């Protein structure tokens, strides 16, 4: 594989995109009511005790999975502002299991009216027929109000199932949900299914995908990561939101859970070492900052390379040890990637504050 300078390729330069850069994930412009610059909203819905609050607390508040055993049932909507980094910036609404959207007093129009995603959580360890009925009534109601909303189904608590059972449960839930939609004339409604558990990385991976579907600049960042890996002989590269450890984007090679977990562990190690041994700047809460970087060599001939590329945004790469001999080129290419991301931030800022010149 050639090790060229990443900057030789014009893609590293966001100026190749016009000011009104308007790329959508599916290549088609989305009609109103969704303003693409509006802050997205993610709704967590599902029956009582399906695991909604646990998901929110484990992913965004660092609660340990075992502590969720003591969570009490919620009776009101819990709204949270998630502002971790430039790309992880949305409202998260955790809705109580008993919410009834057919009640004329419910604010379904307000709830579903904005750009965002609806995550429906199904407890896979329980009888899921009632959950499927609720899923159907919820998504069809939301779709009528806002056809642009993205629908995600978390087949949750899979830690209690055997490997065979997981596949069979996913197949059955998928089939029944799609049949119900087709029978009522909603064939065009798309549901994305994820197998999740708070006891492993699957919940972080699933949430990463939910957030990625809401990112209008995702194809651009993926393109940059593809250029980075091909020009630096890297096997796999992820752009991470360091706070939540969700990956915001990755190159186009397939994601395997082991690589993702390895990169998550590396972030933990770097943050812990920074806290314990790092020298803080005045006023800084942690020594982990925009200049942090780290290299970890594993005893199986693999190297992990981390570099902060924005505020709490880090690129984490996996590469073979023999390809790390030209470290200078890799570091240089990662810097070019960082510059391109910084230019993207400027463009995003200009779009959200048109007065900025």
Report whether 222 contacts 250 (CB < 8 A): yes
The phi and psi torsions of 142 (rounded to 5 degrees) equal -65, -40
User: Is residue 253 within the footprint of ligand GTP (CB under 6 A)?
Assistant: no
User: Is residue 153 within the footprint of ligand GTP (CB under 6 A)?
Assistant: no
Cα 207 from Cα 83, distance rounded (Å) = 15
Cα 82 from Cα 275, distance rounded (Å) = 23
User: Is residue 51 within the footprint of ligand GTP (CB under 6 A)?
Assistant: yes
> What tokens were used for 3?
């090790």
Residues shown for the chain = 357
**Which residue in the set 41, 134, 136, 156 belongs to the binding site for ligand GTP (CB under 6 A)?**
156
User: Is residue 343 within the footprint of ligand GTP (CB under 6 A)?
Assistant: no
> Residue 46 Cβ, how far from ligand GTP at the closest point, in Å?
6
What share of residues in the chain are helix, strand, coil (percent, to 5)? 40, 20, 40
**Which residue in the set 49, 144, 280, 350 belongs to the binding site for ligand GTP (CB under 6 A)?**
49
Q: Residue 43: beta bridge partners?
A: 93, 118
- Candidates 152-160, 218-226, 258-266, 307-315: pick the segment binding ligand GTP (CB under 6 A): 152-160
CA 196 to the chain's CA centroid? 14
The phi and psi torsions of 97 (rounded to 5 degrees) equal -55, -30
* Closer residue to ligand GTP (CB): 126 or 235: 126
**Which residue in the set 198, 214, 237, 263 belongs to the binding site for ligand GTP (CB under 6 A)?**
198
> Residue 28 Cβ, how far from ligand GTP at the closest point, in Å?
34
> Residue 316 Cβ, how far from ligand GTP at the closest point, in Å?
25
> Residue 153 Cβ, how far from ligand GTP at the closest point, in Å?
14
* Closer residue to ligand GTP (CB): 136 or 194: 194
- Among 25, 85, 14, CA closest to 243: 85
User: Which ranges constitute the DSSP H helices of the chain?
Assistant: 52-60, 108-112, 129-145, 163-183, 202-213, 218-232, 257-277, 327-352
**Which residue in the set 96, 113, 219, 278 belongs to the binding site for ligand GTP (CB under 6 A)?**
96
* Closer residue to ligand GTP (CB): 163 or 282: 163
> Residue 357 Cβ, how far from ligand GTP at the closest point, in Å?
46
**Which residue in the set 8, 130, 160, 168 belongs to the binding site for ligand GTP (CB under 6 A)?**
160
* Closer residue to ligand GTP (CB): 49 or 297: 49
b/e code 166-178 from CB counts within 10 Å (16+ = b): beebbeebeebbb
User: Is residue 202 within the footprint of ligand GTP (CB under 6 A)?
Assistant: no
The mark string for 29-48 relative to ligand GTP (x by CB under 6 A, - otherwise) is -----------------x-x
- Among 186, 131, 137, 187, CA closest to 155: 131
Size of the site for ligand GTP (CB under 6 A): 22
**Which residue in the set 14, 53, 208, 231 belongs to the binding site for ligand GTP (CB under 6 A)?**
53
* Closer residue to ligand GTP (CB): 55 or 237: 55
Cα 207 from Cα 51, distance rounded (Å) = 14
3-state secondary structure of 342: helix
User: Is residue 69 within the footprint of ligand GTP (CB under 6 A)?
Assistant: yes
Report whether 14 contacts 342 (CB < 8 A): no
Binding site for ligand GTP (CB under 6 A): 46, 48-54, 68-69, 71, 73-74, 96-97, 156-157, 159-160, 197-199
């Amino acid at each position: 594989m050639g090790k060229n300078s990443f900057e030789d390729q014009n893609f590293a330069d966001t100026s190749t995109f016009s000011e009104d850069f308007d790329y959508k994930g599916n290549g088609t412009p989305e009609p109103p009511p969704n303003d693409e610059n509006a802050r997205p909203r993610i709704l967590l819905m599902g029956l009582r005790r399906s695991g909604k609050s646990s998901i929110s607390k484990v992913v965004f508040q660092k609660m340990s999975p075992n502590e969720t055993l003591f969570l009490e049932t919620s009776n009101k909507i819990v709204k949270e502002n998630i502002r971790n980094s430039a790309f992880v910036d949305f409202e998260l609404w955790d809705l109580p299991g008993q919410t009834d959207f057919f009640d004329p007093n419910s604010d379904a129009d307000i709830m579903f009216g904005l750009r965002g995603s609806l995550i429906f959580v199904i407890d896979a360890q329980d009888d899921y027929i009632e959950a499927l009925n609720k899923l159907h009534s919820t998504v069809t109601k939301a779709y009528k109000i806002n056809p642009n909303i993205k629908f995600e189904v978390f087949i949750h608590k899979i830690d209690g199932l055997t490997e065979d059972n997981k596949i069979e449960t996913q197949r059955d839930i998928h089939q029944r949900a799609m049949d119900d939609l087709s029978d009522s004339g909603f064939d065009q409604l798309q549901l994305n299914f994820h197998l999740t558990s708070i006891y492993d990385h699957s919940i972080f991976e699933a949430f990463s995908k939910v957030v990625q579907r809401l990112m209008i600049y995702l194809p651009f960042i993926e393109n940059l990561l593809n250029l980075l890996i091909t020009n630096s002989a890297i096997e796999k590269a992820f752009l991470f939101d360091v706070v939540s450890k969700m990956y915001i984007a990755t190159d186009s090679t397939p994601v395997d859970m082991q690589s993702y977990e390895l990169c998550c562990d590396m972030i933990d190690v770097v943050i812990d070492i920074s806290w314990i041994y790092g020298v803080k700047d005045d006023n800084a809460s942690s020594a982990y900052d925009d200049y942090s970087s780290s290299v970890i060599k594993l005893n199986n001939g693999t190297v992990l390379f981390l570099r902060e590329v924005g505020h709490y945004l880090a690129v984490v790469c996996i590469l073979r040890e023999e390809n790390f001999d030209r470290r200078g080129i890799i570091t240089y290419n990662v810097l070019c990637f960082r510059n391109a991301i910084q230019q993207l931030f400027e463009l995003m800022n200009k779009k959200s504050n048109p007065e900025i010149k």
